[in-house]
Structure 1
């Protein structure tokens, strides 16, 4: 399921998300900082920001999963596993909150009279 989340770039509105993962390894949210984008002269679009956040959330969940397996095998200590799982939980809760806000905004738009 995590692999399907990373395939967000196949969506028509977010077709340029492949550039995000290759250029944004320094940010904690998975996308380039505004100062870096301003230095290049191009601003990031909303879809690029959301795509970067989705990619980072998927990365956090995969890291937590691999550390959990390593913890079960005795290769990682409990503190590392707990930290990774808590970070993945926070990323997932953030993604769910964004999803809820986007769906709510969409429903509000569909209720508008033309």
Structure 2
């Protein structure tokens, strides 16, 4: 696998002009261009969420911030994103907003051992 393949070059070109391998490999450049919203995600990967999906994802991102570097974003298989492991690890799921009666605010009882409140 190439370090800076055509898909990654295309993605980088949507972010900024004249992105070369040196910039792509620069962790500071990657962090400066971290994707933090659904609209940018759609634009960069060329996908379109349904209005219902987008509504759910927007609500989820309000509670669980989205933060994915361009490199990591480039690894997502957009043809099968719902089953893609990178997608599942990096994108907050609307199911995380559901709370069951048996959910506990501190399931590992770490609050009582913490030297700092909160």
TM-score when scaled to structure 2? 0.24
Whose helix proportion is higher, 1 or 2? Answer: 1
The structure whose Rg is larger is 2
TM-score when scaled to structure 1? 0.24
